[in-house]
Amino acid sequence: MLKDTLLKLLTIPGPSGFEGACADYIEGEVKPFVDETHRDVLGNLVCVKKGAPGGKRILLTAHMDEIGFIVTAIEDSGFLRVAAIGGVSPALTQASHVVLSSGAQGVLFLEDGADKPSLFIDIGASSKEEAEAKAQIGDWAVVRGVVSDMGSRLAAPYMDDRSGCAVLMETLRRLEKTDNEIIAVFTTQEEVGLRGATTAGYAADPDLAVALDVTHAKDFPSSRKSAYVVSRLGQGAAIKIMDRGLIAHPDVVAALEQAARDADVPWQREILLGGSTDGAAIHKSRGGVPTGVISIPCRYVHAPCEMVDLRDLEGAVRILLKLL
């Protein structure tokens, strides 16, 4: 079920600010397993599973949005000028096939000889008029999803963070009973500044929180010598100690590590020197929230071929179930 859920999530486009279709699918799947669902102003999908009196309020998040592009201009020659939505690397994304919100298809390429890397989309139009029949300023675009299924390992665009969403959905499906109130939020606009998590954390006012996201698995050939490897694929879910925006609360780290031991699954410790997650916004909400992160090791983050190991996702589900 976990693999099927992830494969379906990977087919639903949704860059930051345009996550509605993804939220529709997730809500339809998890409704039978929670007591209530609703959307907030920023489009966060909030799913609540009620607990017993005296239980804790636990916030779980995974972000629905993916990096992408937005059309900023249409040239007389029919090419579409685009700007990045989120942390796009021109070197990693150029020469990709893309699909626009209008349904038009095209290819993404890097302008030759530009002083600053500048991407454009070619939708096969030979004039501005022809292009305007297929697209308009403000349309978004994402890399077309192609999945390489290698058994326990899958590679595709947007494992960041559809893999976290799949883990959270599977956790809600399997969680039969808990004394705690579980507030599972599938957040929006993480890639452009943790915006959905900022409002979700404030509204939930939880006793503790755990964010689900990917982290770098740089266990592949590289000429760059690094002092550390953030995580390794297939070696278990990573329990975050620190990243650029969060020093995980020691009590939450300890609880997650104990949950991993109780679940008898492999796990890793994670220190990420660049980048952050929803947890960076949530832990500063109101008077502060004890916050931790479970990370899915992922190779080639923000490339069209992000790779995860389903065994790491399964381990993350089991850790959460023991925690809750």
* Euclidean distance between CA atoms 286 and 41, whole angstroms: 19
Q: Tell me, what DSSP letter sits at residue 134?
A: T
Measured at the alpha carbon of residue 97, what is the angle toward residues 96 and 102, in degrees to the nearest 5?
A: 135
Contact status, residue 256 vs residue 292, Cβ threshold 8 Å:
yes
pLDDT at 116: 77
Candidates 19, 66, 181, 190; catalytic one? 190
Task: Single out the residue of 174, 198, 195, 166 nearest to residue 296, CA to CA.
Answer: 166
pLDDT at 218: 84
The C-alpha torsion from 63 through 67 and 68 to 73, rounded to 10°, is 100
pLDDT at 226: 62
At the fourth CATH level, which superfamily is domain 68-143? Peptidase M42, domain 2 (2.40.30.40)
- Concerning whether 132 is annotated as a catalytic residue, the answer is no
> Which H, E and C letters describe 43-98, residue by residue?
CCEEEEECCCCCCCEEEEEEECCECEEEEEEECCCCCEEEEEECCCCHHHHCCEEE
pLDDT at 228: 66
Contact status, residue 72 vs residue 283, Cβ threshold 8 Å:
no
At the fourth CATH level, which superfamily is domain 2-66+157-323? Zn peptidases (3.40.630.10)
In the chain, which residues have pLDDT < 70?
113-114, 223-229
Strands (E), 75-207: 80-85, 96-100, 105-110, 119-122, 140-143, 148-149, 153-156, 181-187
Contact status, residue 319 vs residue 164, Cβ threshold 8 Å:
no
The rounded Cα 60 to chain-centroid distance in angstroms is 13
pLDDT at 159: 97
Amino acid identity at 206: P
Could you state, in order of their start, the residue ranges of all structural domains in the chain?
A: 2-66+157-323, 68-143
pLDDT at 112: 78
Task: Single out the residue of 280, 287, 294, 62 nearest to residue 183, CA to CA.
Answer: 62
Taking the CA atoms of the chain, what radius of gyration do you get in angstroms?
20
pLDDT at 282: 98
